Amino acid sequence: MNSPNKLAVTSQITSLYKLLTLLLLVTASSAFSHTHTGKQTTSPLPLSLYQANYSAELSGLKINALQKLEKLESGIYRESLSAKNFIGKVNEQSTFSLEADQLYPSKYSYIRSVFGRDRSEVQHFDWQNNKVQLERDGNANSELPIEVGHLDMITHRLQLRRDLIAGKEIFSYPVISRGKLKLYNYKVVSEQVLQTAIGPLNTVRVDRVIEDGDKTVSLWLASDWDYLIVKLKQSQGKDGYHLNLQGAVINSRTITPLAKTNENQL
């Protein structure tokens, strides 16, 4: 029989995994296409460098995370996320290029350590040969064919923000995730003034479109601040997870709240 202490530790590990999933999978269906409505922009969109701090909570278990986008050299960038608490930590990052307004991931990595037990996933994108090589826990085990527009978990979140800036409202992204090619669908739901740890911010709510099951994912992105994610809610059955922005700097500008608010606040 399991002891109460062992059951408590197992519950904490499960909660941590779910929190890490919340932080990392700001998250399929069938056709691989970018569908959109609304205003269009034809000129390439520049990338806004940023650093943001988040907090998340599940069943009383809390975790802090730092996410940032850096420029390594001309046309080459790295976006990363690191999260930790007393049980474990996770580091996720993607190195990619921006060419003719198209994101091309070159290497994606995800490393998780809980109670000293490590798990890792690495993706090496080979655009000359149109394939991605996949590693699990340090072992190369498979590869997949890729096409222009295929993204990793980090670059698909970045592309969502770029598409919002371009005025799009419905989105579909082919994403390499856990050794498979999946489709992530989203749609704009509403515009709201959201109360945050920073103060009230203008936001757009975007929901992930999930056809089967009872899972729901909603994101609020700051429309005045390059659509940085400021809140995320995920629920499935009795489980509910929350992610909230605590502070951020974008292009050397600290995010500040609205001077005035309206009645449409959460």
pLDDT by residue (tens digit) across 12-31? 555 555 555 555 543 322 22
pLDDT tens digit sequence for 102-159: 999 999 999 988 777 888 899 999 999 999 999 988 787 789 999 999 999 999 999 9
pLDDT tens digit sequence for 220-245: 999 999 999 999 988 877 777 788 99
Q: Which residue from 25, 53, 51 is spatially nearest to 197, judged by alpha carbons?
A: 53
Residue located via tokens 């490393």:
111
Question: 10 Å Cβ neighbour count for 225?
Answer: 22
Which residues 6+ apart lie within 8 Å of 67 measured at CB?
A: 51, 52, 54, 79, 80, 81
The Cα 249–Cα 66 span in angstroms is: 12
Predicted pLDDT of residue 84: 81
As given in the structure block, the two tokens for residue 221 are 């992105």
The Cα 84–Cα 81 span in angstroms is: 10
Average pLDDT (49-56) is: 93
Angle (nearest 5°) at CA 149 between 143 and 72 = 85
At position 203, the amino acid (one-letter code) is T
